[in-house]
Amino acid sequence: MGPSAVDPDCAFCAIVSGGERASRVYEDDRVLAFMDIHPAAPGDLLVIPKAHVEGLEDVDEDLMAHLFRVVHLLTRGLRRSGLRCEGVNVFLADGEAAEQTVFHLHVHVFPRTWDDAFRLEVRWQERSRAALDDDAERIRAGLERGRHHPGQP
């Protein structure tokens, strides 16, 4: 699904339009950041494009770059806020298999402390150099198939 102004069934679009309340932290003409209503910790932020885009394939390069500039800015603000923040995780889930639950692209900015309960469970794999080289070749081929002009998805 390409970018559109709003999706009437999207909770984040309702926040953008003012139909749902949110504790707004940052806003410009393209991006909105607000406090997560179900935070992992105090200071847990969500950063979204104002236009409705579901995932990474739907957002153009300029908007994505701007979104991450705002994430960078907010990370600085979080670290200087006085809230407990000994580290930061930035997280983006793209698709159901990645556990995306709201299908409006969003970036989580999680403040971390040494004693928090935040965990990502990962089973790290061992891969041979030949398998890694094969994976790299497949991704390069995918880039060629999806070749686009800068600034376009």
12-39 pLDDT, tens digit per residue, is: 999 999 999 999 999 999 999 999 999 9
| pTM (predicted TM-score) | 0.87
Q: Provide DSSP, the chain.
A: ---BS--TT-HHHHHHHTSS---EEEE-SSEEEEE-SS-SSTT-EEEEESSB--SGGGS-HHHHHHHHHHHHHHHHHHHTSSS--SEEEEE---SGGGT--SSS--EEEEEE-TT-------------HHHHHHHHHHHHHHHHHT---TT--
Position 146 pLDDT exceeds 50: yes
What confidence tens digit (pLDDT) does each residue in 91-109 have? Answer: 999 999 999 999 999 999 9
Q: Where are the domains of the chain?
A: 11-118
pLDDT band for position 1 (50/70/90)?
A: very low
Active-site annotation, residues? 106
> What CATH number does the domain located at 11-118 have?
3.30.428.10
